[in-house]
Structure formats: structure tokens, C-alpha cells
Structure 1
Amino acid sequence: MFLRIPRRHISISSPKWAGHNKWSKIKDKKGANDASKSVAFQRATQDILVAARSGGVDPDKNTTLAAVLKRLKAQDVPKDNIAKALAKAAKVKGSGEILTYEAIACNSVGVIIECATDNANRTVQTLREILNSRNARMASVGYMFTRGGVVVVGVENGPDVNGRLDAVTEVALSEGIDDFEPLPPENDSLSRIKFYCETSALVELTDKLSKHPGVAILESEFVYNPTEKTAVSDQDAEILEDLVHALEVHDDVIHVTTSAAIS
């Protein structure tokens, strides 16, 4: 999801168009990257608005907002974007609603859809259309998940990286985490590990880990954790990938979580 075709050295393009084709591919890739950044920045703004609505714009008094800001800064979201979102949040006086919808996909996969909306009827109608068109429907699946916090850290690779991973894990264990797991590396420079904690412990855990030498906070957020992962076929994995994408690009959707076990 989320056959390797043998390379065929065949070209039907004339030499004078080779540069044009290469430039087209570069433009397409750049356009996709720019669109991805735009969606990420838009999502960051919405995350701040949602957190601020639940407890104000002072991160010292709003643990949800504090965790969101730490995560966005770790993800290199520009300071101007964060400042504008906070200014916008300060002007919001309780308008809109924070809603969570539950659904079942591919007959057995639980889906949690977190939304912020000023029109619940519009939102639920659109969500139903997205779900119904992809072999899914609204259903009570909350029992398949628990609410908690997650912190993902990166540790620079190099001499004694395992020892440094053990050290940061000891710090997390001293903060009373529920569980942890190593994650596949995203690049050659960082090894990653994910820590699970209670919602009340997220901000303090993030703060302690961020102060540990050589540690980068890659994620820090409140999440829905599946109590058990649901095995899915390759075909259903593709359907789920399409479903999650369709939901995530919707303006009202903040976050989507599924119970699917997909490698």
C-alpha cells in the first residue's frame, strides 16, 4: 500500500524532445511536492484551530495546543504559518464543532474520522458519500480503539546508536509510557522509535524527550490506537488507501485512523 517491472530500454521520443520530457517530469514532481506541502500547511493550521477551540490559545494552559505546536515545529512548519494560525484562532469565539465519526470499511476495518466543521449536516453527508463509494459505511467502531498519545523520535545514526536508543528509551520508561516500538528508518541519518502514553502524559513526555541530547521530535500528537490490528488483503489495502486519501483531503477532516494491519 502505504512486482517489479523489468526495465525496457525502448524509446519512441525523438532526441529533440528528450529535454522537454525530462523537464515535464521535473515540473510534475515539483507540482506534486508543492501540493503536498500546501496540504500539510493547511492541515497544520486546522490542527491549531481545533486545539485552540478546545482550550484557548495559551499553550501553557492548553496541553492539546502545546503538543500540536511541538509537533509542527519539529516538522519544520514555517513560524509565519504557525503565528497566522494562532492569530486566527484567537479571533475564533467557539464557532464550529469538533466531531468524531466512526465507520466500517471492507466489512471489518474500523475507521475513526476526526473533523472540525461549522455545518455538521454538510460534513456527515459528504463523509457518507465518500464512504459509500468505497465499500464503507457509518458504524459504531469506537470499541476497536483507545485514546492515547504518541511521540515519535529520531536518533542520529553513528557510533553507539543502539546505546543512545537505549538511553532515550530509559528516559521514556521513567515517564511511565505504556509501550514503545522501533520504526523502519525513513533515511540513512535517523533511527526512529515510537512511544505510546496516556493523553495526560503527552506534553511532559514530549518535553523530556526533546531535551535529551541527539533526539529530534518527529511526531507528538493525540491519537486513536487500534486495540487489535485487522488483517486485510492486497485488494482491500488498495481500497483503504484510496478511502483514507479521499477523507484526508476533505476540508473538514483533521485526522483519519484505521484498524488495518498494513505493512
Structure 2
Amino acid sequence: MSLARFPRPTLALIHKRWSGHSRWSKIKHAKGATDAAKGQVYTRILKDITASVLRDGPDPSKNIRLETIVTHAKKENIPKATIDSAIKRGSGIGTAAGKPLTCLLYGGIGPAGVALVIEALTDNRTRAVSVLKSLMKKYRGSISSSALFNFEHKGRIVLNQDSHSFDKVFEHAIDHGAENVEQDQDSIHIIVEPPHTTSTAKCLQEKYGYSLNSVELAWIPKSDSRVCLDPDSDDGHTFAELIRCLQEEPDIVKVYHNAI
């Protein structure tokens, strides 16, 4: 594939695209110490492990998403027995009353019209939906399937920016199926069509030796759908609290939004 068909975006454009994302990321990172103290970091990683197993199987050698999450879990010093338990749960072992897990996907509209996509993994659909509706209502939001139209479902491969040259990553990624390559202050994000996620990630890892931070299927906001939300405003505080509560719910795996 010729690079001429994919003109390299300038760094200025890349940073501009991610500037709003970084503003909300800082709020999340500022809460990192508190989240860690509550065990939320462990919980989120273990949710990701279970979800990855349910979707793509329990063998890390055949499931690159699981491989990267397990590597992350080990760096966070999560015990092997705990990791194995999350893998078993995704395989249908150890769930409540032996009930199978179900993946759920919901759209929502939050404060200031911010759109959300919420992924859940549960053995009790009725409970999960009830909790989700209650939280959305509490924080001035509602469930709305139309919110999904503000996002695109894409594969996303993330590398540490400090460890790799952006120019090299861009060239290699585009040559092997990437639609776009973006960067923020800390990371390089490679965007691909969902069916190409695993093959592109494996190629970058095995052919070029890149160390992958994460590999996932993500709901990425469309550029023309982003909502500017001041974190210091009343809506901003309400929205931040909504995100925190959603992330702490046991059945909710991922929350995506289009706030900048």
C-alpha cells in the first residue's frame, strides 16, 4: 500500500485533535491514587481480562488482546491466581450459580448532551440494565441508542510514545493496514478496521518488535460529534461523577464518551 494515499498528518493537527481528550484524561489521572487505594485499578484490569476471554478465548498465544492485558496485570503486581480466576470467569467457570456471562452494549446521553457508549459484562441482564438506568437518571442522563451514531467502532493499538519513533510507527502501521496513527502526550494510537486489529497488532509486535500497551476494539467519537465540556462547570462535575460511578459498577467493563 502506497504511503501517498495516506498523507502524514502534521504534529500540530494530531495534538489539536487530542487536546480535549487530554483535558479529561488529567482528571482521571488525578484520581489515580484514590482509585488504586480502592482497588479500582485491579478491578478494571480484571474486567478487561474476563471480557477479552469471553470474546476471543482464554489462550494468550491466540488472543493478543488478552496477552497485552495480562502483561499489564503482571506489571501492576496482580497475583497470578487472581488473573487465572478472571480468565476462568470469562470461560464460564466460577460465575454466579453457573450462569453464562452476556456482553451488553448501551448508548446514553449525559450532562450537556455528551454521548456515551457503555459496555457491560454480566450474568444478570435485568440487574445490569436497572443499575445503568438508575445511574444515568441520577446524574441527569438517559439511555439512548441514538448516542451510538456519534461513534465509530474501530480497532485501537496503543504504544508508549517515549519508547518509539512516531515516524517509524506511522510508516510501519500504515503499511500494515492502519487507517490512521495519532499521538497524545504519552501514547501513540494506531486505528484500524476491527477485522484487521489482531493481524496488524501481531505484525507490529513480531515483525518490528514493538511493545504493545494495549489492543482493543473501541468506540471512538467521530470528529464532528465531540462536545466541549468545561471540567470546572456544574455539568463537568456531574459528568465526572457519572463516569466514576459507571466505572465502579461491577458489571460495567468500558465507558466511552465524546467530551473534550
TM-score range relative to shorter protein: 0.7 to 0.9
Structure 1 partner of 2:67:
69
> 1:88-107 counterparts in 2 under 5 A?
88-92=89-93, 95-107=100-112
Structure 1 partner of 2:226:
229
Q: Which has the larger helix fraction? A: 2
State the SS of the aligned residue for 2:121: strand
Q: Which has the larger strand fraction? A: 1
Larger Rg: 1
Q: Post-superposition shift, 1:214? A: 7.5
Q: Post-superposition shift, 1:195? A: 1.1
The one-letter amino acid of 1:84's match is S
The one-letter amino acid of 1:197's match is V
Aligned counterparts of 1:91 and 1:102: Cα–Cα separation in 2: 26
8 Å Cα contact 2:155/2:191 also seen in 1: yes
The one-letter amino acid of 1:67's match is R
> Of the candidates 185, 189, 195, which is equivalent to residue 200 of structure 1?
195
State the SS of the aligned residue for 1:184: coil
Q: Post-superposition shift, 1:111? A: 0.7
Structure 2 partner of 1:7:
none
Structure 2 partner of 1:259:
258
> 1:67-216 counterparts in 2 under 5 A?
67-74=65-72, 76-77=75-76, 78=78, 80=80, 81-92=82-93, 95-140=100-145, 141-156=147-162, 164-185=165-186, 192-211=187-206, 215-216=210-211
> 1:43-54 counterparts in 2 under 5 A?
43-54=44-55
> Of the candidates 31, 34, 37, which is equivalent to residue 35 of structure 1?
37
Aligned counterparts of 2:208 and 2:162: Cα–Cα separation in 1: 10
The one-letter amino acid of 1:178's match is E
* Structure 1 residue ranges without an equivalent (≥5): 3-28, 186-191
8 Å Cα contact 1:154/1:215 also seen in 2: no
> 1:16-35 counterparts in 2 under 5 A?
32=34, 34-35=36-37
The one-letter amino acid of 2:202's match is D
* Structure 2 residue ranges without an equivalent (≥5): 1-22, 25-30
The one-letter amino acid of 1:95's match is P
State the SS of the aligned residue for 1:260: coil
8 Å Cα contact 2:35/2:41 also seen in 1: no
Q: Deviations over 1:116-135 (max 9, x none)?
A: 11221211111111111111
Q: Post-superposition shift, 1:60? A: 5.5
The one-letter amino acid of 1:129's match is S
Q: Post-superposition shift, 1:250? A: 0.4
State the SS of the aligned residue for 1:58: coil
Aligned counterparts of 1:30 and 1:117: Cα–Cα separation in 2: 25
The one-letter amino acid of 2:37's match is A
Aligned counterparts of 2:139 and 2:183: Cα–Cα separation in 1: 32
Structure 2 partner of 1:24:
none
Instruction: Report the CA distance shift for 1:71/1:171 in structure 2 as closer, same or farther (over 3 A).
Output: farther
The one-letter amino acid of 1:230's match is V
Structure 1 partner of 2:237:
238
The one-letter amino acid of 1:83's match is D
Aligned counterparts of 2:130 and 2:86: Cα–Cα separation in 1: 28
8 Å Cα contact 2:45/2:69 also seen in 1: no
Q: Deviations over 1:90-146 (max 9, x none)?
A: 453770211011110124211111001122121111111111111111112111111
Instruction: Report the CA distance shift for 1:117/1:88 in structure 2 as closer, same or farther (over 3 A).
Output: closer
Instruction: Report the CA distance shift for 1:224/1:49 in structure 2 as closer, same or farther (over 3 A).
Output: same
Aligned counterparts of 2:239 and 2:66: Cα–Cα separation in 1: 26
TM-score, normalised to structure 2, is 0.74
Aligned counterparts of 2:206 and 2:238: Cα–Cα separation in 1: 41
Aligned counterparts of 2:214 and 2:92: Cα–Cα separation in 1: 27
Q: How many residues are aligned here?
A: 220
Q: Deviations over 1:195-249 (max 9, x none)?
A: 1111112222222333476843222211001113122234222222111111000
The one-letter amino acid of 2:211's match is A
TM-score, normalised to structure 1, is 0.73
The one-letter amino acid of 2:239's match is L
